[in-house]
Amino acid sequence: MSARRPSKAMVAWSTAAVMVSLLLVSVNLRPAITTVAVVMGRLEHGYGVDGHLLPVLGALPVLAFGVSAPLGPWLAKRLGTGRAVALALFVLAAALAARALVPGLLLPGTFLAGAAIMTASVLLPQIVKEYHGTGWWTGLCTMGFGLGAALGAGLVQPLQAALGGSLGGALAIWAVPAVLGGVVVGAAVKTGPRRAALYADTSERPVRRRLRTQRTAWAVAAFFGLQALLYFAVTSWLAVFLESKGLSPADAAAMLAWFSFAGLPAGLLVPVFAGRPAVLRIMAPGLGLLIAASLLGVLLAPAEMQLPLIGILGFAQSAPFGLGMALIVLRSSGPRTAGRLSAMSQGFGFAVASLGPLAAGLLHEWSGTWAPSFVFLAGVALLVAVAGFLAVNGPEVDGGETAGRATEPAAVGR
Classify residue 404: in a domain, yes or no. Answer: no
Nearest to 76 by CA among 113, 28, 129, 114: 129
- CB-based contacts of 153: which residues, under 8 Å, 6+ apart? 34, 35, 37, 38, 235, 239, 253, 256, 257, 259, 260
Mean pLDDT rounded to a whole number for the chain:
80
CB atoms within 10 A of CB 87: 17
The model's pLDDT over 165-199, given as tens digits with 9 standing for 90+, comes to: 888 888 899 999 999 999 988 888 875 433 444 44
pLDDT of 201: 42
Rounded to whole angstroms, the Cα distance separating 174 from 163 reads: 13
Residue 336 lies in a domain: yes
pLDDT digits (tens, 9 = 90+) for 284-320: 889 999 999 999 999 998 888 888 999 999 999 888 8
pLDDT of residue 383: 94
Q: Quickly state the pLDDT bin for 139 (edges 50, 70, 90).
A: confident
By CB atoms closer than 10 A (0-12, 13-18, 19+), residue 386 is middle
Determine the average pLDDT of the residues in 342-356: 79
Provide the phi-psi class of 164: left if phi over 0, else alpha when psi is between -120 and 50, else beta.
Answer: left
Interatomic CA distance for residues 353 and 56, integer angstroms: 13
Cβ atoms of 183 and 382 within 8 Å: the answer is no
Task: For residue range 107-122, list pLDDT tens digits in order.
Answer: 888 899 999 998 898 8
Residues spanned by the domain of 272: 8-201+211-393
**Nearest alpha-carbon partner for 119 in 172, 171, 66:** 66
The Cα-based distances of 410 to 328, 337, 389, 413, 414 in angstroms read 10, 12, 19, 7, 7
Is the residue at 206 inside a domain? Answer: no
Asked if 391 contacts 220 with a C-beta cutoff of 8 angstroms, the reply is: yes
- State whether residue 271 is helix, strand or coil: helix
Give the N- to C-terminal CA distance of the chain in Å, as an integer.
31
- What is d(CA 110, CA 116) in angstroms, rounded to the nearest whole number? 10
Dihedrals phi, psi of 332, to nearest 5 degrees: -105, 155
How far, in Å, CA of 161 to CA of 175, rounded?
18
User: Would you report the helix, strand and coil content of the chain in percent, each value rounded to 5?
Assistant: 80, 0, 20
Fill in the DSSP letter of residue 208: -
In a domain, 1, yes or no: no
CA distance 184 to 95: 19
> Do 414 and 276 touch, CB atoms closer than 8 A?
no
293 domain-assigned: yes
Specify if 409 maps to a domain: no
What's the structural domain count of the chain? Answer: 1
Q: Domain for residue 58, yes or no?
A: yes
- The answer to the question of residue 399 being in a domain is no
Among the ranges given (88-97, 114-123, 151-160, 396-405), the one the predictor scored with the smallest mean pLDDT: 396-405
Q: What is the CATH number of the domain that holds 239?
A: 1.20.1250.20
